[in-house]
């Protein structure tokens, strides 16, 4: 019997397994995951689930019985320790081996660590532990003003905690959105009583707080660190697959070995629109990448060309972001930034390369069409409602 193995039981892996069945694959599917939980989605962990607004069952990709009903063998609580590309075998940390005909690596990423005790938000257990600490109130320090840091800060503030964010960059989301929109998020959090210490580094963390790079100490009851993540490329690297920032793939998510594929946070895939490889850590990348990899595993002419997409909800601000701001030279707004009712467009040479709709809905397709078109456009047209 033909066996397709997926290492990484997250969203990308689960959607790949689903797609294999939907596309008519009748062989064996084995889904291997290091966590004991069946596949679940991670965005709620820093949003509604962290805030206590979502039931646990709602975070899972499929109902508990789905895997057995669709002939997907779950091997949970197991970590893959090696891949023999010649023998087509995955070695597991319980001493067993799993043969495969095609292999998908969807091992995701792991949080970057700081010196000293801190909470990190990656798993459902992490989210539950942090939520419990927020519910107790007190002083919370969030290290890092990226998406995870800001969403965690919003959840802590809404739980009634005193919150301070520490960030070495001059604005929140400085690399993701640039200083213009970073200032918007800084103002949002300050309006909700969050203290922001920007341009501030962390020397170390203790049980009672944080020591800054300046030597100053800040007391805290809870420290949450959101300072980025590192793709889990070790399995691929040790197997001899080509690895850069992530596991290098072509546009079909095929790695340097024809029978091995990669999807989700761990993949650094060639993107036809950008003409280069990119690595994207957001939810939509896992949601859409897993199915493309599955179709490619079945020999179909599958290409992953989705525009990077992300969403967040913080306080009264809801937004969706599309694209990549790399190399932008202008930001144009439609609507009212002050009222948090606007679309921001990032331009390079008068061409839209990214867009963010804030509290305006059903415009993502329009924004992404502008990005795909590559057409020069008068900024006045973009700013006009």
Over residues 19-38, the pLDDT tens digits come to 999 999 999 999 999 999 99
Average the pLDDT over 326-331 and give the result: 97
Nearest CA among 259, 289, 295, 265 for reference residue 99:
259
Q: What are phi and psi of 358, to 5 degrees?
A: -110, 115
DSSP code string of 143-174: E--SHHHHHHHHHHHHTT-EEEEEESSSSTTH
Banded model confidence at residue 6, pLDDT cuts 50, 70, 90: very high
Q: What dihedral angle (degrees, nearest 10) is formed by the CA atoms of 337, 189, 46, 368?
A: 20
pLDDT of residue 384: 82
How large is the average pLDDT for residues 343-365? 98
Q: Which helix (H) or strand (E) holds 231?
A: strand 229-231
Task: Report CA-CA distances (Å) from 151 to 88, 210, 224, 341.
Answer: 41, 20, 11, 20
186 Cβ neighbours under 8 A, 6+ residues apart: 145, 171, 172, 196, 198
* Mean of all residue pLDDT scores within the chain: 97
Residue 161 has phi, psi (to 5 degrees) of -80, 155
On whether the CB atoms of residues 75 and 98 are closer than 8 A, the answer is yes
DSSP 243: B
CA distance 270 to 272: 6
Average pLDDT of the residues in 67-87: 98
Beta bridge partners of 7: 32, 105
Residue 14's CB is within 10 A of a number of other CB atoms, namely: 29
Rounded-to-integer distance, Cα 231 and Cα 333, Å: 34
> What does the block give as tokens for 210?
């944080």
Task: Read off the tokens for 321.
Answer: 């972001």
User: What span, in angstroms and rounded, lies between the C-alpha atoms of 340 and 121?
Assistant: 27
Phi-psi region of 320 (alpha: psi -120 to 50; beta: other; left: phi over 0): beta
pLDDT for residue 374: 96
Q: Could you report the per-residue pLDDT of 154-210, keeping only the tens digit for each?
A: 999 999 999 999 999 999 999 999 999 999 999 999 999 999 999 999 999 999 999
The residue-averaged pLDDT of 52-63 equals: 95
Q: What is the pLDDT of residue 215?
A: 93
pLDDT value of position 385: 74
Return the closest-CA partner of residue 200 out of 217, 188, 184: 217
| d(C-alpha 363, C-alpha 314), whole Å | 20
The answer on pLDDT for 1 being more than 90 is no
């Amino acid at each position: 019997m033909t066996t397709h193995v997926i290492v990484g039981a997250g969203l990308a892996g689960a959607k790949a397994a689903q797609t294999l069945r939907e596309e008519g694959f009748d062989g064996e599917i084995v889904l291997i995951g290091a966590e004991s939980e069946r596949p679940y989605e991670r965005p709620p962990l820093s949003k509604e689930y962290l805030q206590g607004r979502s039931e646990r069952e709602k975070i899972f990709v499929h109902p508990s019985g789905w895997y057995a009903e669709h002939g997907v063998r779950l091997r949970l609580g197991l970590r893959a320790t090696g891949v023999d590309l010649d023998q087509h075998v995955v070695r597991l940390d319980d001493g067993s081996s799993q043969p495969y005909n095609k292999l998908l690596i969807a091992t995701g990423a792991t949080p970057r660590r700081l010196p000293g005790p801190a909470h990190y938000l990656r798993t459902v257990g992490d989210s539950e532990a942090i939520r419990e600490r927020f519910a107790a109130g007190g002083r919370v320090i969030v290290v890092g003003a990226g998406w995870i840091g800001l969403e965690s800060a919003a959840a802590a503030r809404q739980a009634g905690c005193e919150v301070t964010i520490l960030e070495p960059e001059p604005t929140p989301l400085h690399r993701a959105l640039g200083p213009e929109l970073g200032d918007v998020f800084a103002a949002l959090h300050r309006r909700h009583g969050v203290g922001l210490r920007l341009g501030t580094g962390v020397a170390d963390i203790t049980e009672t707080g944080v020591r800054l790079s300046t030597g100053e100490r800040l007391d805290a009851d809870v420290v949450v660190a959101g300072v980025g993540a590192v793709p889990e490329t070790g399995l691929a690297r040790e197997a001899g697959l080509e690895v850069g920032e992530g596991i290098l793939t072509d546009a079909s998510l095929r790695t340097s070995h024809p029978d091995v594929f990669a999807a989700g946070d761990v993949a650094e895939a060639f993107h036809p629109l950008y003409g280069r490889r990119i690595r994207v850590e957001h939810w939509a990348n896992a949601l859409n990448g897993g199915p493309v990899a599955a179709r490619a595993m079945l020999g179909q002419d599958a290409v992953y060309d989705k525009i990077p997409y992300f969403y967040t909800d913080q306080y009264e601000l809801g937004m969706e972001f599309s694209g990549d701001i790399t190399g932008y030279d202008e930001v144009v707004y439609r609507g009212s930034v002050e009222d948090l009712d606007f679309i921001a467009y990032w331009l390079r040479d008068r061409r839209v390369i990214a867009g963010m709709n804030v509290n305006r809905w059903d415009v993502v397709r329009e924004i992404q069409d502008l990005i795909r078109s590559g057409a020069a456009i008068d900024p006045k047209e973009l700013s006009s409602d």
